Amino acid sequence: MKKESVVAIVFGILLGLMVAFFVIFQSKQQQLSKTKLINNQTKGPTSKVQIAVATPFLEVSFPSDRLVLDTDSIIIKGKANENSLIVIQSPIKELVFKNESTDFEKDFPLALGENVIELTNYPEDKNISSVHKQLRVYYLDTKDTTE
C-alpha cells in the first residue's frame, strides 16, 4: 500500500471514532434531559397541589394461599374499594360483582385438586389501575373409599 492510502485510512478511522463519540454524547444528553427526577428535587419553582386519589386495594382475609380443604366450596372473604368491580375466576367458575361496601363475602365452588383462584379489583375510577391477587386452594376428597 502506498503511504497516502495508509494516512487516509487512519484519518478515516479517527474521524469515524470522533463522529461516534459525538453521537453517543448527544443522545445521552438528550436522554438525560427527558428523564424524570426520582427524588423530591425539582427543576424550578413549583406550587404544591394536593389531590386526593383513592388508591385501589384488595385484601383477602380468607382463604390463605395454599390452603388445603376437604369441602367442595369455600367462602372468600376480603376487603376492597367501595363501589369497585370484583372479579373472581377459576377454571370452573367466574364470579363478577359490584362491591357495595368495603367488605365482601362470596361462596365459591372448588374443583378436586388444585384450584388457582384469580381475584381482580377494578376501581370505580377508570384512571386508577386494577389490583390483582392469586390464590391456590387445594380440595382433597378425604372420604374413605375402602368401604
Global pTM value: 0.56
Q: What is the DSSP letter of 99?
A: E
Longest dimension (CA), the chain: 101
pLDDT for 17 beyond 90: yes
pLDDT tens-digit profile of 20-60? 988 888 888 777 777 666 665 555 556 666 555 567 778 88
Which residue, among 63, 122, 133, has the nearest Cα to 97 in the 3D structure?
122
3-state DSSP helix/strand/coil percent for the chain, to nearest 5? 20, 35, 40
For residue 13, what pLDDT is reported? 95
133 contacts 58 by C-beta, under 8 angstroms: yes
Which residue, among 109, 129, 112, has the nearest Cα to 120 in the 3D structure?
129
pLDDT tens-digit profile of 115-131? 999 999 988 888 888 88
